[in-house]
Structure 1
Amino acid sequence: IDLSTLPDDQRDAIVALVREVAALRETTQRQEHLIAELDHALYGKKSEKLSEDDRQLAFEDLEVAIAEGEEKKKQAAPTDDKPKRKKIAKRNRGNLPEGLPRIEQVIEPDSLDCPCGCGLMHRIGEDRNERLDIIPAQLRVIVTVRPKYACRICTDGVTQAPTPPWLIEGGLPTEGAIAHVLVSKYADHLPLYRLSQILARSGIDIHRSTLADWVGVAAFHLRPVVDRLAEHLKTSTKLFMDETTAPVLDPGRGKTKTGFLWALARDDRSWGGDDPPGVVYFYAPGRHGENAETFLTGFNGILQIDGYPGYNRLTKPSRTGGDPIVVAYCWAHARRKLKEVFDRDGS
């Protein structure tokens, strides 16, 4: 089509449509690629499936692409002087807790003079909008000053307040800094070398090995708390236990080996129990039943488990560390076996 023969308004409309079609085609291709990756991750070969974290990242990429396309469409839409009622998007924006501090920014009109010239306008209401603001973590230095005092008349000595107890005597971190490292590593799964890089952006040069020393010291001092929690849980009448694999560094081999984390938990909230929920984790290099027997020393109640036969030794009179316990098997695992029979026999 020779656009030069068309009127200006028609030519501009065609050019705008061509650009819009090209933009939509690009967005569609990108979304189709992301959907194909998700489909492959969810339904592809078992060895090629993504982990849960990778799947979440893929979903995030898809949501980012959709949001980018919506914003591009909104910015490209023609505007006019007539105010339009905004359509509320059906998405989960999250909620802002009442306990968060509110900083109000009042925006007044440039002029309060009435257009008709009869005086100043009076305030009749207001519109309020709340947005979430994030202040990056702030680093600070705690300076502990211990003044020295002496008598000007006699020479009997100098008095000074003693140094307060610190978790790492003479060390650099405060207890709050150590707690931040622990939460970052174990709750947020942030490797220490990445945390070292994050601190470096603020001008703090702390090597990963130093952070590892802090974690080791904290682990030593927290061990009595973990032991006491385990003792408290094992006084319950019923508990839940399960184990899962965990990659563990194997120095000298250049790769990791498989270890096991054992979770011992109590949660009676679903039926209105009085005991508060709690969980404690144990580590063992293997999945042998002897490990469960060791971890459950002193427990004599009901243990809810899956179908792993390693727990069977806990039900025998020869059990060490307590009386034979009663096991309650998980119904979800039992259903799997029934489903296997149904899929095989059709009944």
Structure 2
Amino acid sequence: MIAEDLDQLDTAQLRERLLAMQAEIRFKQAIIDKLTHENAVLKRLKFAATSEAFSAEQKSLLEETLDSDQAAVEAEIEALQRKPVAKRQPRREVLPAQLPRREVRHEPEDTTCGCGRPMQRIGEDVAEKLDYQPGVFTVERHVRGKWVCRCCEKIVQAPVAPHVIDKGLPTAGLLAQVLVAKYLDHLPLYRQEAVFERAGHAIARSTLAQWVGECGVQLQPLVDALTAELLRQDVLHADETPVAMLKPGHGKTHRAYLWSYCTTAFNPVKAVVFDFADSRGGQHVRDFLGLPGTSAKPGWKGHLVTDDFSGYKACYELGIVEVGCMAHARRKFHELWAHHGSAVGEQALKYFGALYDIEREVANADYDTRLDARQRAKPVADALHQWMRQQRQKIPDGSATARAIDYSLKRWVALTRYLEDGRLPIDNNWVENRIRPIALGRQNWLFAGSLRAGKRGAAVMSLVHSAKLNGLEPYAYLRDVLERLPTLPASRLGELLPHRWAPLTSG
């Protein structure tokens, strides 16, 4: 077919196609060289880690991160080369005989030979995979019968089903359990190792780490599709929270950040995407949104709901519309009232309370109904604005009360923009609630072991937290995704996004 196509091309077209192919090869080779170098660095760090001054718990977390990163890099190289990477193949252990077993039989759809005679079963191949339901290990025995036609000497056998980890030991259920426990329940792999041992079968944390790394690579296209879906929405929330990241070779950590972007509570598309970055610089937001100067693709345009962190300011200069957070403005006056019994703080809270009362009335309404209700809020907002300006004239500069009032007055246009658009929320609390479980999880992580590990964690958390937003049980969702992903065409990847996902029905 290719030869026929080439015959129809003239010399100029052949040269153009050749140059394009050469450019693609150079690009892929550059990525392979980069990943190969990263793999070598990871191996060096893995062997050097024993000499660094970490506690036993920290060293365990570092080792699992390096194992996961190395498995992820090898999986990416293999995908680019389209051939297996030369790597040590671990000896596959025999699963304990005492574990319950469930047979899954795979037979050819048709056991009639082309000559018309029935084929005879002459044997079978059996592959055992380790499955896990919380607290209980079982073994899936995949039995593939062999059928032969004595006349034609033809053998037929059902093909091996594709799996997220090719020729791997774990089922999709076990992989989903490991990922959900690590990224939703915040259980490091060394703790999961102990949980599995109590369930009757010890799995080395290095093995668990390899599974995490390979799953991260396989799930990334789905996370990319979720990100693309998010960036098609007109209104987004954004927030960030610090996470310690280890600096191998230094024995220390530095402050990295997990950025969170999500749709509003009013949007029928419920999605949240986390993005891990090694700093709090505003360029990370611009990169994620693909704003001018950061991406070759058309940048996102819309309304961005944020707090007043300066890192977002450059986005507004590039065409993004700022929507302020009324909860942050209210919080300044609440602190005055709670800590000092301030009469100014108390009066301000009454105004804010009236604005929020109207929002609660239309929390589940459509955009037009919400916008109509907000016409009643405009006089309240205008009265609050006028009252603040009057109070500010009475208060000396530098006081806590002056700072609280100045915060609102300087941001008044952004804070009240929601009154003109029924799609916009009054505050940024929706995304802050999405990021709160991450802050709780930091107590168990201690730190992210590397930038790659942080990005992998952000990717998996994007899927499981989006599943929760859509009312799904994260384990059931992720197990189904891992089962279907290996055979699903790229064109149908959107079917697995949390807000579109539906379990397969039998029959």
- Please tell me the residue identity of whatever aligns with 2:210: D
1:104-119 equivalences in 2 (<5 Å): none
Question: 1:162 aligns to what?
Answer: 159
Instruction: Tell me: CA distance 1:200–1:280, structure 2 relative to 1, closer, same or farther (3 Å).
Output: same
Corresponding position: 1:205 with 2:206: no
- Return the offset for 1:246: 1.1
- Return the offset for 1:253: 2.4
- Please tell me the residue identity of whatever aligns with 2:313: N
Higher RCO (C-alpha 8 Å, min separation 6) = 2
Q: Secondary structure at the match of 1:144?
A: strand
Q: Distance in 2 between matches of 1:251 and 1:201?
A: 32
Question: 1:314 aligns to what?
Answer: 315
Question: 1:256 aligns to what?
Answer: 253
Q: Deviations over 1:228-264 (max 9, x none)?
A: 1111111111110000011223222233322111100
Question: 1:289 aligns to what?
Answer: 282
Long gaps (5+) in structure 1 = 1-134
Corresponding position: 1:177 with 2:174: yes
Q: Deviations over 1:309-336 (max 9, x none)?
A: 11111111xx4xxxx1111111122234
Instruction: Tell me: CA distance 1:169–1:335, structure 2 relative to 1, closer, same or farther (3 Å).
Output: same
Q: Distance in 1 between matches of 2:287 and 2:162?
A: 35
Q: 1:139 aligns with which of 137, 140, 145?
A: 137
- Please tell me the residue identity of whatever aligns with 1:279: V
Long gaps (5+) in structure 2 = 1-132, 291-298, 337-341, 346-398, 403-507
Q: Distance in 1 between matches of 2:228 and 2:166?
A: 30
Q: 2:273 aligns with which of 276, 280, 304?
A: 280
Q: Secondary structure at the match of 1:204?
A: coil
1:180-259 equivalences in 2 (<5 Å): 180-259=177-256
Name the one with the larger helix percent: 2
Taking structure 1 as the reference length, what is the TM-score of the superposition? 0.54
- Return the offset for 1:157: 3.3
Question: 1:300 aligns to what?
Answer: 301
CA RMSD of aligned residues (A): 2.2
Is the Cα contact below 8 Å between 2:235 and 2:264 reproduced in 1?
no
Is the Cα contact below 8 Å between 2:137 and 2:201 reproduced in 1?
no
Q: Distance in 1 between matches of 2:205 and 2:248?
A: 17
Q: Deviations over 1:112-131 (max 9, x none)?
A: xxxxxxxxxxxxxxxxxxxx
- Return the offset for 1:216: 1.1
Question: 1:329 aligns to what?
Answer: 324
Is the Cα contact below 8 Å between 2:259 and 2:274 reproduced in 1?
yes
Q: Deviations over 1:252-283 (max 9, x none)?
A: 223332211110011233xxx5x222111101
Q: Distance in 1 between matches of 2:400 and 2:250?
A: 47
Is the Cα contact below 8 Å between 2:181 and 2:187 reproduced in 1?
yes
Q: Distance in 2 between matches of 1:213 and 1:290?
A: 32
Q: Distance in 1 between matches of 2:312 and 2:223?
A: 23
Instruction: Tell me: CA distance 1:254–1:151, structure 2 relative to 1, closer, same or farther (3 Å).
Output: same
Instruction: Tell me: CA distance 1:214–1:299, structure 2 relative to 1, closer, same or farther (3 Å).
Output: same
- Please tell me the residue identity of whatever aligns with 2:201: I
Taking structure 2 as the reference length, what is the TM-score of the superposition? 0.38
- Return the offset for 1:190: 0.5
Instruction: Tell me: CA distance 1:335–1:200, structure 2 relative to 1, closer, same or farther (3 Å).
Output: same
Q: Secondary structure at the match of 1:169?
A: coil
Instruction: Tell me: CA distance 1:345–1:292, structure 2 relative to 1, closer, same or farther (3 Å).
Output: closer
- Please tell me the residue identity of whatever aligns with 2:306: I
Q: Distance in 1 between matches of 2:134 and 2:323?
A: 47
Q: Deviations over 1:189-242 (max 9, x none)?
A: 001000011111233221111111111111111111111111111111111000
Q: Distance in 2 between matches of 1:228 and 1:136?
A: 30
Q: Secondary structure at the match of 1:142?
A: strand
- Please tell me the residue identity of whatever aligns with 1:286: S
Is the Cα contact below 8 Å between 2:137 and 2:200 reproduced in 1?
no
Q: Secondary structure at the match of 1:263?
A: strand
Aligned length: 202
Q: Secondary structure at the match of 1:245?
A: strand
Is the Cα contact below 8 Å between 2:135 and 2:199 reproduced in 1?
no
- Return the offset for 1:153: 4.1
Instruction: Tell me: CA distance 1:346–1:296, structure 2 relative to 1, closer, same or farther (3 Å).
Output: closer
Amino-acid identity (%): 41
Instruction: Tell me: CA distance 1:163–1:229, structure 2 relative to 1, closer, same or farther (3 Å).
Output: same
Instruction: Tell me: CA distance 1:251–1:313, structure 2 relative to 1, closer, same or farther (3 Å).
Output: same
Q: Secondary structure at the match of 2:256?
A: strand
1:71-82 equivalences in 2 (<5 Å): none
Q: Deviations over 1:80-114 (max 9, x none)?
A: xxxxxxxxxxxxxxxxxxxxxxxxxxxxxxxxxxx
- Please tell me the residue identity of whatever aligns with 1:261: L
- Return the offset for 1:291: 0.4
Question: 2:264 aligns to what?
Answer: 267
Instruction: Tell me: CA distance 1:212–1:346, structure 2 relative to 1, closer, same or farther (3 Å).
Output: closer
Q: Distance in 2 between matches of 1:346 and 1:166?
A: 61
Q: Deviations over 1:34-77 (max 9, x none)?
A: xxxxxxxxxxxxxxxxxxxxxxxxxxxxxxxxxxxxxxxxxxxx
- Please tell me the residue identity of whatever aligns with 1:285: D
